[in-house]
């Protein structure tokens, strides 16, 4: 073969015998490269929507044969009756935080690393030994008690994530649960570890206070009321619309994060700050869901009335819980945060959330 013919052969396009790659052939449907069975919220579907929408089926959409196993009383695998709230379109909700597995693990893992580094480095520098002794007691008794509240809300939302009518609702509640349980464990391990550096630190004291100390009984009652609700959306509502601003944030931001540094404690605020960031996301998801339900074209009025009832019920409990916590603000040696200011902030917060949702904030909160 001459060089010329050899070059000609080389220049000839090589025929691809077979390829399974996109674009290897053109035929009907060969460019249909998007999930096409749901309406994206925006112009284009987000990755979260692609991962989430319609994975939990619905007889009113694509579930041709209906649910094929039922509970003995005839209740199907998923039922709209598991909440008193009504919706003309349960599929409308999209989680504002857009979490799917990858983003969830990335965020949780980052928090675990941040918290663990802070604790390790703090301990290495001997920081716990420089905590004010009165503050150590507060961490031992009160942060130790508070971790149970977080755990209770974590188990409550873990229960609630079974009941939602769509994948979007259930996954938002699932990640909420995951965040709460991580934080409850985070506090537990934090106290266990700094306790090693603090002679006489009683790791069991927190639970004792949670169960017996009058200061914590209002909080326990409030949390148990959330856990005791048979309506999964009431659990979700009570957690994020009521308990978190009135008790959770009040204690975390309104006390721990403000007071800690004045007691020589730079570790606790870092540990606790993770929960504040978690809450911002959980709150955004919650507000989005309840806003959709509260402005539903068919059920808005009855939903808002229902949410107002939930608000009154749980705000009474949470406000009572908050007021019982008041003595804690007097316990640090260096007083930098006032309970009245923290409570006013908490009330403002819940007023803001209630306003977003078109709810009537109860008088005891509004005042």
Partner 1 sequence: MTASLTLNKITAQKGISIAEAANRVADLGWTPSYVQEAMTFPTDYKISKTPRDPMKQVLRSYFPMQEEKDNRVYGALDAALRGDMFRNVEPRWVEWMKLFLAIIPFPEISAARSMAMVGRLAPGEELRTGFTMQMVDEFRHSTIQMNLKKWYMENYIDPAGFDITEAAFGKCYATTIGRQFAEGFLTGDAITAANVYLTVVAETAFTNTLFVAMPSEAARNGDYALPTVFLSVQSDESRHIGNGHSMLMAMINDPSNHQLLERDLKYAFWQNHAIVDAAIGTFIEYGTTNRDKNKESYAELWHRWIYEDYYRTYMLPLEKYGIKIHHDDVAAAWDRIVKKNYVHKTAQFFTVGWSVNFWRIEAQTERDFEWFEHKYPGWYAEFGDFWKWHAKLSVPGETNILFNSDVGYVYPHRCWSCMVPCLIREDFVCDEVDGKIYTYCSEGCRWTHKVAFAAEYEGRATPAMGRFSGRREWEDCYHGWDVADAIKDLGFVRPDGKTMIAQPHLRFDAKDMWTLDHVRGHTLGSPLRGFRALSPAEREVATTEYRKGFKINPCH
264 lines the binding site for partner 1 (CB under 8 A): no
36 lines the binding site for partner 1 (CB under 8 A): yes
Write the CB contacts of 189 (distance below 8 Å, at least 6 apart in sequence).
none
| Helix, strand or coil, per DSSP, at residue 30 | coil
CB of 335 to partner 1, least distance (A): 30
**Cα–Cα dist 180/150, whole Å:** 6
CB of 366 to partner 1, least distance (A): 26
Q: What is the CA radius of gyration of the chain?
A: 26
207 lines the binding site for partner 1 (CB under 8 A): yes
Nearer CB in complex with partner 1: 155/302? 155
Encode burial over 259-280: b for 16+ CB neighbours within 10 A, e otherwise: bbeebebbbbbbbbbbbeebbe
CB of 127 to partner 1, least distance (A): 12
Q: Which of 7, 8, 9, 62 binds partner 1 (CB under 8 A)?
A: 62
Do the beta carbons of residue 140 and residue 201 sit within 8 Å?
yes
Do the beta carbons of residue 255 and residue 329 sit within 8 Å?
yes
Q: Which of 80, 102, 309, 333 binds partner 1 (CB under 8 A)?
A: 102
Question: Could you say which residues in the range 209-248 bind partner 1, by CB under 8 A?
Answer: 210-211, 217, 220-221, 224-225, 227-230, 235
Q: Which of 113, 327, 352, 355 binds partner 1 (CB under 8 A)?
A: 113
**Cα–Cα dist 254/339, whole Å:** 8
Torsion of CA 22, 25, 26, 30, to 10 degrees: -30
Nearest to 353 by CA among 249, 210, 235: 249
CB of 175 to partner 1, least distance (A): 8
Nearer CB in complex with partner 1: 7/61? 61
200 lines the binding site for partner 1 (CB under 8 A): no
CB of 55 to partner 1, least distance (A): 5
Structure tokens at 173: 């509640």
CB of 26 to partner 1, least distance (A): 8
Structure tokens at 241: 């619309």
Question: Could you say which residues in the range 158-177 bind partner 1, by CB under 8 A?
Answer: 158-162, 167, 170-171, 174-175, 177
Stretch of 50-58, 281-289, 329-337, 350-358 lying at the interface with partner 1 (CB under 8 A): 50-58
């Amino acid at each position: 073969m001459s060089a010329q013919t050899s070059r000609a052969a080389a220049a000839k396009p090589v025929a691809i015998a077979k390829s399974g790659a996109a674009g290897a052939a053109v035929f009907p449907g060969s460019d249909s490269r998007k999930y096409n069975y749901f309406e994206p919220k925006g112009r284009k579907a987000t990755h979260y929507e692609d991962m989430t929408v319609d994975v939990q089926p619905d007889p009113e959409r694509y579930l041709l044969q209906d649910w094929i196993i039922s509970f003995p009383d005839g209740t199907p695998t998923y039922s709209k009756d598991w909440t008193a709230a009504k919706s003309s379109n349960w599929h409308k909700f999209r989680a504002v935080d857009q979490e799917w597995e990858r983003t969830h693990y990335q965020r949780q893992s980052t928090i675990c690393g941040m918290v663990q580094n802070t604790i390790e480095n703090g301990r290495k520098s001997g920081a716990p030994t420089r905590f004010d002794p009165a503050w150590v007691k507060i961490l031992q008794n009160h942060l130790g008690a508070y971790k149970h509240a977080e755990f209770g809300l974590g188990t409550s939302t873990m229960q609630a994530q079974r009941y939602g009518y769509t994948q979007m609702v259930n996954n938002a509640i699932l990640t909420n649960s995951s965040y709460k349980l991580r934080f409850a464990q985070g506090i537990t391990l934090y106290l266990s570890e700094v306790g090693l550096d603090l002679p006489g630190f009683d790791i069991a004291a927190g639970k004792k206070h949670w169960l017996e100390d009058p200061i914590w009984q209002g909080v326990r009652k409030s949390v148990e009321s959330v856990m005791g609700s048979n309506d999964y959306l009431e659990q979700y509502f009570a957690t994020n619309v009521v308990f978190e601003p009135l008790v959770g944030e009040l204690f975390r931001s309104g006390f721990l994060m403000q007071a800690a540094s004045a007691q020589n404690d730079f570790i606790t605020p870092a540990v606790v700050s993770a929960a504040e960031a978690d809450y911002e996301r959980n709150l955004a998801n919650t507000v989005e869901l309840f806003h959709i339900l509260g402005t539903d074209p068919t059920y808005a009025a009855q939903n808002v009335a229902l949410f107002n009832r939930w608000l009154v019920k749980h705000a009474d409990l949470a406000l009572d819980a908050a007021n019982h916590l008041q003595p804690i603000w007097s316990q640090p040696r260096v007083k930098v945060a006032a309970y009245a200011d923290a409570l006013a902030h908490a009330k403002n917060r819940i007023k803001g959330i209630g306003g977003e949702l078109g709810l009537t904030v109860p008088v005891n909160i509004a005042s």
